[in-house]
Amino acid sequence: MQSLASEILRYKPYPSDLEFDDVCKALVGTYPFLRERGSETGYSAWKITLKQKMGNYRSNLRNMGCSELKINSLQGRSEGNAHPNMVKKARRAEVNFCPDYPAGENKESQEEDRVALITEIQKRNNDEQIKTKMEKTFPLRRQEILQDMPFIADFKSRWPALFSSREIDAEFRRITTTPLTSKFISKLDEYAPKLVKIFKKKGGKHGRKITEIMAVIDERDSIDTRRCCTLKALSVYLNEDPSNLIKEYVAEDFHDAQQQMAKTVIGIYAILHEADDENNDPEEVGVIIEGVTVLRDLRELSIAFPLLFGLMYVLNLNYPPDLKYTFEFFQKDVNDRPISLILQTKPRPRL
């Protein structure tokens, strides 16, 4: 059991109940003589024992200073309102959820690198130096997010170099080992024809709304328009409102738009040209979190989708309740789950 717990920890420190079932089922399947007589599953006692061994093994590693486990050492004790089972753990294929400091490094030495990084971003044509220092300070940044849970405005002032398309892509890859924008867009383009066929079968009020969204493609057909319409229609198909994700404002009402944007918890904003302007592309596209514009001057709306999704990982944010299924779809899409299986198994509650 101790060896088995050690092997499980190589994959994840907090396996789910179903994953314990899978391990114990494989155990008694490989060694039939271990199957319990009189047990409905044949491994009930083994499952209990394995859970205890995993708990003991985590405690030992936590005492040795493992960062991913150490952040949960005081949960439910120092904070009187915290539930003891509310542990901070990887939930979305996060391979490097809470990395340890490299050998010879500690919080103080990495804080010095963070201060030096702020100086580096003020220099021109200094992308390589910034990339190197961002890679080096990843453990400090990640532990700060998980332990301190800072406000976005405060965190942005401490780590201004993080809030760019290039660095969000890089940070997402550090956490998941998966490229973000390139894979998101390629998968979206791959699945778009299948999605359109599925959308056409949708009837009722949501079917009519999807038809209205997809009709925009006939007015101004471009790759960005097709991608955006597909993503908006997907939200409707999942019984969610795409206007909660994309906030569109007119340039001539920019003052009112700024006031509304300051109240936005999370979303993508698009500043549209004035009504008499023939240019159909947005004047400006950006991302807002907690009323703070964390990204601006993005090239296309379709690029803003993966970047907002990446920020959920980078900042360890929960998916918005009114867009939960849309973001979970993005997550499964990036993880290569078959598109048909996602749509067939996804629960779709009424609005």
pLDDT in tens, 205-225: 999 999 999 999 888 888 999
- Which H or E run contains 232? helix 223-237
Q: What is the reported pTM? A: 0.80
How many residues in the chain? Answer: 351
pLDDT at 138 over 90: yes
Q: What is the DSSP letter of 77?
A: T
Relative to beta strand 266-272, strand 246-250 is: parallel
Confidence bin at 185 (pLDDT 50/70/90): very high
pLDDT in tens, 299-338: 888 899 999 999 999 999 999 999 999 999 888 766 555 4
Confidence bin at 277 (pLDDT 50/70/90): low
Alpha-carbon torsion 26, 17, 329, 205, what sign? positive
Per-residue confidence (pLDDT) for residue 334, from 0 to 100: 64
Q: Please give the average per-residue pLDDT across 6-11, as a whole number.
A: 83
Which of residues 38 and 345 earns the better pLDDT score? 38
> Cα(16)–Cα(167) distance, rounded to whole angstroms?
32
Asked if 138 and 67 count as a contact pair (C-beta separation under 8 A), the reply is no
User: Residue 216 carries which side chain, given as an amino acid letter?
Assistant: V
Residue whose token pair is 């939960």: 324
Q: Please give the average per-residue pLDDT across 168-187, as a whole number.
A: 93
